[in-house]
A and B are shown apart, each in its own frame.
Chain A
Amino acid sequence: MRRVWCAAVALLVAGCGIQPTGVTDGGEAPTGVAPGVTLYFVGADGELRPRQRDTGGLGSISEALSLLLSGPGGSGLRTGIAPISVQRVGVTIEPGVIELVTPLTIDDVTPLGIDQIVCTALDTHVRSGGSRDMRVRVRFTQPTPETDELRTCPLIR
């Protein structure tokens, strides 16, 4: 009888405290470090081309887009976005949608230029740990029908 009581008490005590465990999985590891940011320009044949810009870190979507708006530089690539003095892009991330507020009008960009913006934003989002299934909405300084379109990048599926 005494043994039964001892076992019961031991069981009770063992059930109370926090027990050591082995190594257990705690989920996805964080990500987001990168030697640079990837910008999308237009190649010689009119195709989208990713280009690595070694900035030392990944940075934010807004920073990446500012770099994109500042042009391809001396890389031999073209851009579908007209040069503009103000390069700040507002970025809002909602569930499933990245909304970009550009300082451009619809006339400043070719359709390929919109893809450049969308791909650069999505690329940065994915590399900082985001989902690849995000849609991108690009807003211009004036409301246009294209504004409400939810876009994806043809290179990032």
Chain B
Amino acid sequence: MTRRPWLRGLRARLLVAFVLVTVLGAVAAVWSSAGSAGGALVTSYQRQVTRTIGDQIGAIAPQLTYPPDQGALDRLRATVGANALVVYGDLRSADGVDTGLITDELRLAVRTGDRLVTQRTVVDGEPWLLVGTPVMITASDGTRTPSGIEVYAVRDLTGVEREIDGLTRSAITTAAWALPLSGLAALLAAGSVLRPVRELRDTAGRLAAGDLDARSPPQGADELAELTVTVNEMAESVQTSMAEMERMRADARRFAADVSHELRTPLSTLTAVVEVLADTTDGMEPDARESARMAITETHRLVRLVEDLMEVSRFDAGTARLRVEEADAVGAVRDSLRARGWWDRVELVAPEEVPARLDRRRLDVVVANLVGNALRHGEPPVRVHVSALPEQVRIAVTDSGPGLPEHVVPHVFDRFYKADAARTRTPGSGLGLAIALENARLHGGDLTAENTDHGARFVLRLPRDPEEPGDPEER
């Protein structure tokens, strides 16, 4: 059975359950009370009728001649009242039309038995009480033998039935009064259950929305109050662990920032030393020259790593600021390519001009990183496609290499993520794409990676007119 939608609400279900229970209870009560009262009424009426008839016959019997003649039978019948039949052998005395109702079953019981018998029958919807009895002869020693006189009487039970109907009707009316009351009680009960539930739901909603201070005051001492207390405790512990986690994250960031900051000064010295070393490699032995070159390369790498770390730290600390200016996106990309000497190796597909408001330095960082990656890891031709959408500037960098492995795509913007664990000695810091993504987000834009049929494609989308530079902490 499919549940109807309006039955899903707790209130409706409580209401229906209450009313159902009330109706069943009322029906049972009405049925049993009306049934037993009706039964008692019929039984008592029946007993009264049979006793009256028995007494009437017993009172007149000694006055009758025996064996009876027609006159005696008529007297006896008149004593029993209307709708009576008296039979003795071939003689009979009948009165009233209803004696035809007397069943053969009853006649047989009277003829063969020595007891007064009754039977209820319903003819054409009207109930009748049939009474039949033999009249006995008692000997001096108390033994009884049938005299052969049979008396039948028919009594109308319509009046009794009307009384029973009245009883039933009044019972049903009384029970019907219980219905609105039970509905009211159901609504009150539903309200008292639903109010705390609604409050709990609101609190849970606020918790889910990030308001960790949200609590609902427990009311009463029932299960719902216990649930409220439990939810409050849960919120408390979530809040505590969130605060703890936030503190740890802040510590970690501060540590990274401090470390990179502390490394900068010794690195400057080291860089100066290495540059001096670079000028003197020509006069070295080949082995020493090789080592010196390696030291120079690694030092440059270290410098870049520390710079990238500091950049990341600024993003994390929320101190990175966007400096937007009116600029031509195509021109900015072109300058970026020219500055790095990639103009000949990269195919630029772009309209004449795409005016936008953007931070040129950060755009340069992103473009340099994407194109550098494409040249380094992909195959030529590398294509940069700049297009203008109504609200956005779209810059797609596509290479023709093997593309990104499927399992790498979701992690390509993770910090220090290495696609190939064996290839550790790449010139990059491992932070380039993470910084590029942060820069895109700082603009209010986005950076995505995907595979085309021929290689990898990175798509940068920047709004042409960014809102107030977003705080990266609030993203």
Interface hits, A29-47 → B, CB 8 Å: 29-35, 38
Q: How far is the CA of A76 from the CA of B117 in the complex (A)?
A: 45
Given contacts A26-B50, A29-B133, contact A18 B127 (CB under 8 A): yes
Closest to B32 in A: A15
- A152: CB under 8 A from chain B? no
Interface hits, B58-73 → A, CB 8 Å: 58, 60-68
Could you tell me if A16 and B34 are in contact, using CB atoms closer than 8 angstroms? yes
Could you tell me if A11 and B31 are in contact, using CB atoms closer than 8 angstroms? yes
Shortest A27–chain B CB gap in Å is: 5
Contacting A56 at CB < 8 Å: which of B27, B38, B58, B65? Answer: B65
Could you tell me if B62 and A26 are in contact, using CB atoms closer than 8 angstroms? no
- A151: CB under 8 A from chain B? no
Chain A residues near B144 (CB-CB < 8 A) = 29, 31
Could you tell me if A24 and B66 are in contact, using CB atoms closer than 8 angstroms? no
Chain B residues near A34 (CB-CB < 8 A) = 62, 66, 137-138
Q: Which of B108-116, B245-253, B348-356, B372-380 contacts A (4 or more CB under 8 A)?
A: B108-116
What interface size band does chain A fall in? 35 or more
Could you tell me if B119 and A32 are in contact, using CB atoms closer than 8 angstroms? no
Chain B residues near A32 (CB-CB < 8 A) = 57-58, 60-62, 64, 135, 138
Secondary structure call for the A interface:
loop
- B161: CB under 8 A from chain A? yes
Contacting B120 at CB < 8 Å: which of A15, A19, A25, A123? Answer: A19
Count of B residues near A, CB < 8 Å?
Answer: 60
- Residues of chain A touching chain B, judged by Cβ–Cβ distance below 8 Å, are 8, 11-12, 15-35, 38, 50, 56-60, 123-124, 126-129, 132, 155-156
What 8 A-B pairs are tightest by C-beta distance, nearest first?
A32-B61, A30-B57, A31-B136, A58-B62, A18-B127, A30-B58, A15-B35, A26-B116
Can you list 26 A-B pairs with a CB-CB distance of less than 8 A? A16-B168, A18-B161, A18-B164, A20-B119, A20-B120, A21-B120, A23-B106, A26-B115, A28-B115, A29-B134, A30-B55, A30-B61, A30-B133, A30-B135, A30-B136, A31-B137, A33-B61, A33-B68, A35-B66, A35-B67, A59-B63, A126-B138, A126-B140, A127-B138, A128-B138, A156-B140
- Residues of chain B touching chain A, judged by Cβ–Cβ distance below 8 Å, are 24, 27, 30-31, 34-35, 38, 42, 46, 50-51, 53-55, 57-58, 60-68, 105-106, 109, 113-122, 127, 131, 133-142, 144, 147, 149, 151, 157, 160-161, 164-165, 168
Given contacts A20-B122, A26-B115, A57-B63, 5 further A-B contacts (CB under 8 A): A8-B27, A17-B161, A18-B42, A23-B119, A35-B66
